[in-house]
Structure 1
């Protein structure tokens, strides 16, 4: 890898990690469009570029989620019984998500990801928290919800927070506990999704050297190094700055990234 590529990946990982710590979002929404740009510029086969970007992004969550979970656990905010109920469905869904993605061509996958990012940006821009309307469902309902969270997260390479946090708050879970519990769910999402991307991408023709399935290992290592370093700084900054205003600015950035993925889909 040349120096320019290493610097680009470091900058991208740092930005994604800082944003994740600052705003409590998964880095996938930021990383996937940027990784897609970089992989496209590096000449990776067009039919693989979005699949590899999503898989590599999901792989980073496997590492970055650990530091986040540790911090939330130290504050006693993670509802581990809820994690235990959602995790089985998440593990199944996160395995299925990459398989669904493999059946989609690059254009369709890019369009779907663009829709997801645009929806998430709108949710962030509005900033409306769902009103508590019910209690958490019983085990079968939690398994089904976990499966839905896992499928969508595995498909777009994200940590699932934009689904799990509103779901839990609507079910009378305090927002701080919902965010912390969602962070804990990021690990099973990333674990199952990463293994799925390795399995379904194994032996795919056209993959560059140093790929493990759909995951490009050099990019994964550099992004993880930068994002793990910057995420704690983002979390500390969140206590010193007007995060609501930052969310609005970040939503505009997400709209731009969604626009790029739409452009990628139709070109």
Structure 2
């Protein structure tokens, strides 16, 4: 068991991550999972959680935290009239279905496999944001069904495997079809709600009675980490929303891209470093 002083230090690190995740939820319309998953991975490693379940526990715990932060962010963005409610209504089945599929995959995939998925998606969309050009568009209107519905399932699945609220994928999806980045960010907060709620139950099922889980865990969700971060994230999320609406479109894209590159590099180091 690590010394008490070290545990307090890591608790402080998790609390700081709660501040960052709350801000990110408001700024980018994401649940903060892209920063929380790497932090959890390190903390659980120090607490001697086996490698076989460490990444899964990090992703599942992040999914649980996304519920309140996404709800808070969604409420704030909706008050500003920035959310595309028609798109969310069309995905009310597709996104949860994708989240459940992610939990089924997570029950069988390795820790390294989960990290590589995280890296691939993070770096791909970082490059898309950093080097975005006006002519990089797939169209001027979002596709109709069944393609739009399929996109919702894919977004839900990949986001569930990364432990994120879907902002990374939905932001890219909407902007590729000409939607403003601010509307994409706002709508992504609602996407996070539809992914994270079924995701909680999926990761509980996927990790049920898995060996090596730390105390106060239900499946692949650790409730101590959830309890530490949620109150902090809820307080700071509205400040992130204010920042998002104060930034220019290009500044928001550059900040988002740099953030994703940092996350991808961190996980590559954890695999090959």
Provide structure 1 residue ranges, at least 5 long, that are not aligned to the other structure. none
Question: d(CA) in 2 for partners of 1:116 and 1:93?
Answer: 16
Which piece of structure 1 moves more, 68-77 or 246-255?
246-255
Which deviates the most, 58-67 or 129-138?
A: 129-138
Q: Are 1:94 and 2:87 an aligned pair?
A: no
Matches of 2:243 and 2:140, distance apart in 1: 34
Match of 2:33 in 1: 28
Confirm or deny: 8 A CA contact 2:32 2:164 kept in the other structure.
yes
> Could you say which residue in structure 1 is the equivalent of 2:222?
216
Counterpart of 2:238?
232
> Which residue number corresponds to residue 22 of structure 2?
17
TM-score calculated relative to the size of structure 2? 0.87
Which residue is equivalent to 2:45? 40
Helix, strand or coil: the match of 2:90? helix
Deviation track 1:175-231 (CA, whole Å, cap 9, x = no partner) reads 433332221111010011111001111111111110011011100111212222222
1:262 aligns with 2:268: yes
Q: How many residues align?
A: 267
Task: Name the residue aligned to 1:204.
Answer: 210
Partners of 1:255 and 1:177 in 2: how far apart? Answer: 23
Indicate the RMSD between aligned Cα atoms, in angstroms. 2.4
Name the CA distance, whole Å, in 2 between partners of 1:253 and 1:159.
15
Q: Residue by residue, what CA displacement relative to the aligned partner does 1:227-258 show, whole Å, maximum 9, x if unpaired?
A: 22222222323455678557646644543332
Deviations 1:120-177 (A, max 9, x none): 3223322446436143333432321111111101111111122223323344544433
Q: Give the CA deviation at 1:26.
A: 4.0
Q: Structure 1 pair 128/211, CA: closer, same or farther in 2 (3 Å)?
A: farther
Q: Are the equivalent residues in 2 in contact too, given 1:80–1:181 (CA < 8 A)?
A: yes
CA distance in 2, matches of 1:174, 1:249: 16
> Is the contact made by 1:106 and 1:265 (CA closer than 8 Å) also made in structure 2?
no
Q: 1:93 to 1:240 in 2, by over 3 A?
A: closer
Q: 1 CA distance for matches of 2:196 and 2:157? A: 11
* Structure 2, gaps ≥5 residues long: none
Paired residues for 1:154-193 under 5 Å: 154-193=160-199
User: In 2, distance between residues paired with 1:120 and 1:8?
Assistant: 27
- TM, length-normalised to structure 1: 0.89
Residues 1:138 and 2:144 aligned together: yes
Q: Distance in 2 between matches of 1:171 and 1:237?
A: 24
Task: Measure the CA separation in 2 of the matches of 1:232 and 1:51.
Answer: 29
Match of 2:73 among 68, 72, 88: 68
Checking the alignment, whether the CA contact within 8 Å between 2:31 and 2:65 is kept in structure 1 is no
Distance 1:12 1:263, change over 3 A: same
Residue 103 of structure 1 aligns to a residue whose secondary structure is coil
